[in-house]
Amino acid sequence: AIQLTQSPSSLSASVGDRVTITCRASQGISSALAWYQQKPGKAPKLLIYDASSLESGVPSRFSGSGSGTDFTLTISSLQPEDFATYYCQQFNSYPRTFGQGTKVEIK
């Protein structure tokens, strides 16, 4: 199975900060990567698919980039509602796998 390693595991940031989360795959996955946001007690929400395509209705401050083994999720200006845990997920091969998550906390 393809392993996805996210870094950092957690971070503290202030409203307005630019935040970058990295997801590294154990082998090349082309652009077959999605990003999700999960708030406590809620289901994950799709943000980005195909590594860089923004899901409909998701604010443009979220962006994704990368291909092969290295990917990033960037929040250009962190908003209060963005404090959550973020997960990457690969769909290049089965089984579908997720990263361990990155928790974004308020500084």
Partner 1 sequence: QVQLQESGPGLVKPSETLSLTCAVSGYSISSGYYWGWIRQPPGKGLEWIGSIYHSGSTYYNPSLKSRVTISVDTSKNQFSLKLSSVTAADTAVYYCARSVLSYYFDYWGQGTLVTVSS
Sites of contact with partner 1 (CB under 8 A): 1, 32, 34, 36, 42-46, 49, 55, 87, 89, 91, 94-101
User: How many Å apart are CA 51 and CA 89, to the nearest integer?
Assistant: 10
Residue with Cβ nearer partner 1 (17 or 55): 55
Phi, psi of 85 (to 5 degrees): -105, 135
- Give the nearest distance from C-beta 101 to partner 1 in angstroms: 5
Residue with Cβ nearer partner 1 (48 or 78): 48
What token pair was written down for 20? 């970058």
Is 30 within 8 Å of 44 (Cβ atoms)?
no
- Give the nearest distance from C-beta 71 to partner 1 in angstroms: 13
- Give the nearest distance from C-beta 44 to partner 1 in angstroms: 6
Residue with Cβ nearer partner 1 (36 or 71): 36
- Which of 44, 46, 52, 50 lies closest to 29, judged by CA? 50
